[in-house]
Amino acid sequence: MHSSVQWDVIIVGAGPIGLSTAWHYAKENNHHKILVLDQYSLLTQLVGTSGEERHWRLQYSELEIFRLTLEADKLWRELERQADRKLIHRIGSLWFGDADVWTNEGQIRQTMVSMDAMDLPYERLTMQDIERRYGFVGLDPNYEGFIQHDGGVIDVKGTLSTLYSLASEAGATFRFQQPISAIEPDDNGVTVIASDQQYRARKVLIASGPGSKALLAPLNIELALSTFEMACISMLRSQRLEARDPFWFAFQPPVSSDSNLFYGFPPNPWSVNGFDRLGTDFEVDPITEEHGASYCANPQHVERALEFARRHMPFLEPDRQHSASSCLAVLPNDSSRQFYLDNAKGRCHGGENLVISAGGWAFKFTPLMGKICADLLADRQPRWDISALRF
């Protein structure tokens, strides 16, 4: 069935980037018809570090991405003012470990050089500082790190519901439970084929996380992305530490089984249940057509995280009670890049009518990437240098 409406813009994916784009585009293009489609319902979360919060950080090893986080910071503050609610809780971002190990999240030593270059204040910490202040034990004596106090955690549901309300108020239309089977761009616009409807728009944004790859393959657009299923474990605290604890990320040299990277969220400032969440950042066993997502935490990865907690986090109770879940991470294969966001001009017939945002740990860029996508959909040069994001 054909929808008789000719939309100005269709956004495929009502995740953070899709919602943010809908709001910015609707705000900046009065009277345009904007439709947001999603195969699931609002607030379905398959991608990211799962749970109630995401890491907020300003620091990056790569200066071109670092500059973008500083811009994103201004837009988060603007969004918080607009919504009259706090979305980022600045409890700090603690990085520790082997300062020389390079990972997909960057490198501690290079990130300190970058923070110096960008004049971003941070406190450098020895292994003893980290153990004394934050309660870790048994860390490698050569470990060091820093705390960046403007970092912290983003309220996921608060952000998504805020953007949904703002986009709806600005006039965007939403349709959920609409799996998309094909996107067909041409010289005059794009046809979007859903299970029981065909939609037509002048421009389309694809921001549908792990689903993007399958939509792009028939257009011969292959982004070098892999999807991994990562484990996240919630556990109770046996002691309350005195200070408000930061988000932390442990940079460690890889071991034979995995990349040996762990991160943790303390009980978040707006929750009542007081669970810590400990995650594995293991880029192993990418999801393929033959080996799909199980949506179950890999038991070996759960055991690795529990072992990390037993050895280094005596304030947790990994063996009393824990619950494990999994989340998907769609990440560029090239570890020197973090995201893909660009117009598909020249990549397929009608590509000038398609914008694609795919890959990376992008939640922290939600307001900025929404604005960039809105610019690209309006055929405007983005207001920021996005050469590090283009494909």
Choice among 53, 144, 276, 281 that is catalytic:
281
Nearest Cα residue to 72 out of 338, 365, 371, 339: 365
Taking the least distance from each CB to ligand BEZ, the nearer of 57 and 322 is: 57
Q: Give the residue closest to ligand BEZ by C-beta.
A: 361
What Cα–Cα distance (Å) separates residue 311 from each residue in 96, 137, 261? 16, 7, 15
- Span interacting with ligand BEZ, options 49-57, 94-102, 178-186, 189-197, rule CB under 6 A: 49-57
Task: Respond yes or no: is residue 281 known to be catalytic.
Answer: yes
State whether the Cα torsion 379-384-387-391 is positive or negative.
Answer: negative
Task: Respond yes or no: is residue 76 known to be catalytic.
Answer: no
Site string for ligand BEZ, 2-41 (x = CB under 6 A): ----------------------------------------
Taking the least distance from each CB to ligand BEZ, the nearer of 52 and 281 is: 281
Interface residue with ligand BEZ among 144, 276, 281, 375 (CB under 6 A) is 281
Site string for ligand BEZ, 204-243 (x = CB under 6 A): ----------------------------------------
Backbone phi, psi, residue 199, to 5° = -115, 155
Within 100-119, which residues bind ligand BEZ (CB under 6 A)?
Answer: 105
Task: Respond yes or no: is residue 263 known to be catalytic.
Answer: yes
Taking the least distance from each CB to ligand BEZ, the nearer of 247 and 391 is: 247
Backbone phi, psi, residue 309, to 5° = -65, -45
Site string for ligand BEZ, 343-362 (x = CB under 6 A): ------------------x-
Taking the least distance from each CB to ligand BEZ, the nearer of 281 and 375 is: 281
Residues near ligand BEZ (CB under 6 A), total: 7
308 binds ligand BEZ per the rule CB under 6 A: no
| Shortest Å distance, C-beta 124 to ligand BEZ | 19
Residues in contact with ligand BEZ by CB under 6 A are 49, 55, 57, 105, 263, 281, 361
Catalytic machinery residues: 57, 105, 263, 281, 327, 361, 364
